[in-house]
Structure 1
């Protein structure tokens, strides 16, 4: 059987969107590693840290749905994506110019407006270009693996040493540069989906017009909305409060904190394509159930595992594989439920609602809980949210094309046997 050529548009787009989405998370998550360096200057209480995280999440949520929907309806995904990447890169640089907490808060809010449509538009573009057998892998690779490698692995490796040597302001300036370069590549090489839409839509049964309420009434969409709220609560709590918790409560040095955060990032890179690839084979539903359950353990390890640094790193690496289910409920399952033609809207809605609840409301509550009930409170909240998400995943309808094809083939075989 001849091997498929590597130099296809699907693979080129996969690589380009990998870096696009990756640098979104690099810029978004960099501030979490800089909080210890900014704390004195801006008098950052845990509540204020939660507010900074919440402001970006709220604007991300609003723009993610509305701008992705607008770009989808007008078939102008490419220009929207290019402009969004330029603006969020400039906002990262602007964060380094902030002279007060309110200025910093405003810069993060505007950054959220720009970053919001990047992920749903990118996933919509990837959905159009993906073959059925690789859709889960591709969507996971550009979301979880990219966010993990650039946002969780590269970010602490670059941000912490830069802030230590040159200060947090210079670090923000540096963080904004890669996005400007990526925007040039997007403008040059990205193809608007309408140029290859007939191939992408072949065989889909959901390509008809779909109202907002019609989309929300789909059982998978409703479940993904709730799961998104819960697991984004889990994720944002870990990314926001772990660096400070490791240094101030667990007593690790900045270098040790950076190492542990890098380990989380490496785990997310690997799980980001391994877990969706597993779902391409065994189905979305069982994969979601198992790995959401694995996610429950991460906050508990951080709080209760009083072990050596290497042992703690190993435990975090294994349990953080739960992060690999994120592309499934945020992108793949919604896209396969409503059809690729409506994927941007569905993905934007699921991410947006999750960002409001898990990224906007939850961090403020978690920060308040940390200030009043102890530094471990955000992690206990995160673990509880993951428990509920794992239970809800049992109710998902299967959408993986390979799994559905096997079911149909099996049913047809049974029918033929009965008719013989």
Structure 2
């Protein structure tokens, strides 16, 4: 990739949007112990608050993707960014778990379009050979936002209260919405892309058979289920990291808000590295091991699944630093998996369907995350977190086996 290219600037722009999106959603986790105290919220009620976001996000992902495909990225992503900003700022008005759950559900509806929009952007702007690398950097925004959120939210909350933390993290999205609407254009409509780069983008994208673009037609394809099932099994890990690590550190590792702010970002920093390196891993495997374009993605997902054994063992270590180390390995591994599953959705569906297809794959993933979060809410106070983390180590291994079985005929096929 030419680092002076227009597509690099587009990648940086969409990455900033993803960072801001994840700062907004991850602020709740670090504020959860304080919210539980001030609003008298039980662990079970907190799981319902998390669940409200997850249900709304799950349902809205394919709808948001469909709207993005229909009205276009420029206006569509900007509108969703405005909506998530206002919903996050409204969290400061909560007076109990029910009102907080309502605002959280509104945030889920608005934020659901971010990943489908990002993947559609990459599908439009990047040749096939660069797509996993671009997805790796884009996906790094999710974990970088999660790195920033605990520090930013905790510092603002300690200085001005948790209401101010939601206001600050929400208002950032309004700035992004303006920038996106002002600057984003598709390659064929962008005045800032030269003829040579436009030709490079077009020539580097292999044709993908165009199927009927309805949601039902996408769901009926075998390639959709090949990707959706591993995503269903992988997403519980990320939802657990995003929404439950601060409570886990407070309850089982006896850390206060300051300590959580100092250490809760570490798994997400490791996740940044996993997202970026996962993007480079696929083309390396393609060049050095003779794998096909799709086979290189599947091999990387399998490697990430093996590494997910580490967070599954978090209940076996005594010290909090050892636990955070294992969670960091899990963050790294999960983002390798996430990047390559998202890239597959851009690889196997035509550009006109990418946002819808990615939204449907995301819907499958968030269904898994929702079910697992509700399980944590029901079981954590009784069983502790260790058995639940152990499940995360198993889920991705099952997902990798499924993906290999469904797409094995393409792993060694030359690109």
| TM, length-normalised to structure 2 | 0.88
What is the Cα deviation at residue 47 of structure 1? 1.4
Residue of 328, 331, 336 corresponding to 2:347 = 336
Q: How does 1:64-213 map to 2 (within 5 A)?
A: 64-72=61-69, 74-143=70-139, 145-151=140-146, 153-192=147-186, 195=189, 199-200=201-202, 202-213=205-216
Cα separation, partners in 2 of 1:97 and 1:279, compared to 1, 3 Å: same
What is the Cα deviation at residue 377 of structure 1? 4.2
Q: How does 1:12-411 map to 2 (within 5 A)?
A: 12-72=9-69, 74-143=70-139, 145-151=140-146, 153-192=147-186, 195=189, 199-200=201-202, 202-282=205-285, 283-301=296-314, 303-307=315-319, 309=321, 311-328=322-339, 330-358=341-369, 360-397=370-407, 407=414
In 2, the alpha carbon distance for the partners of 1:165 and 1:377 equals: 37
What is the Cα deviation at residue 88 of structure 1? 0.3
The CA deviation string for residues 225-266 of structure 1, in whole angstroms up to 9 with x for no partner, is 111221111221232222111122112233332233211111
Cα separation, partners in 2 of 1:5 and 1:250, compared to 1, 3 Å: closer
The CA deviation string for residues 270-303 of structure 1, in whole angstroms up to 9 with x for no partner, is 11110121012210111111102212321422x2
Q: Tell me the SS of whatever aligns to 1:206.
A: coil
Does the 8 Å CA contact 1:367/1:378 hold for their aligned counterparts?
Answer: no
In 2, the alpha carbon distance for the partners of 1:376 and 1:85 equals: 36
Does the 8 Å CA contact 1:293/1:390 hold for their aligned counterparts?
Answer: no
Does the 8 Å CA contact 2:304/2:337 hold for their aligned counterparts?
Answer: no
Gaps of 5+ in 1: 409-420
The CA deviation string for residues 342-391 of structure 1, in whole angstroms up to 9 with x for no partner, is 11111000001221232x33211221011333343432333332332233
The CA deviation string for residues 379-406 of structure 1, in whole angstroms up to 9 with x for no partner, is 2333332332233232253799xx88x8
Cα separation, partners in 2 of 1:110 and 1:299, compared to 1, 3 Å: same
In 2, the alpha carbon distance for the partners of 1:200 and 1:69 equals: 23
In 2, the alpha carbon distance for the partners of 1:157 and 1:299 equals: 26
Does the 8 Å CA contact 2:30/2:260 hold for their aligned counterparts?
Answer: no
Q: Tell me the SS of whatever aligns to 2:264.
A: helix
In 2, the alpha carbon distance for the partners of 1:352 and 1:396 equals: 20
What is the Cα deviation at residue 122 of structure 1? 1.7
Does the 8 Å CA contact 1:96/1:168 hold for their aligned counterparts?
Answer: yes
Does the 8 Å CA contact 1:268/1:320 hold for their aligned counterparts?
Answer: yes
Does the 8 Å CA contact 2:87/2:104 hold for their aligned counterparts?
Answer: yes
Gaps of 5+ in 2: 191-197, 286-295
Cα separation, partners in 2 of 1:229 and 1:89, compared to 1, 3 Å: same
Q: Tell me the SS of whatever aligns to 2:262.
A: helix
Of stretches 372-381 and 59-68 in structure 1, the one that deviates more from structure 2 is 372-381
Aligned counterpart, 2:291:
none
Cα separation, partners in 2 of 1:63 and 1:313, compared to 1, 3 Å: closer
What is the Cα deviation at residue 76 of structure 1? 2.0
Does the 8 Å CA contact 1:299/1:380 hold for their aligned counterparts?
Answer: yes
In 1, the alpha carbon distance for the partners of 2:284 and 2:15 equals: 22
Cα separation, partners in 2 of 1:297 and 1:392, compared to 1, 3 Å: farther
Cα separation, partners in 2 of 1:238 and 1:270, compared to 1, 3 Å: same
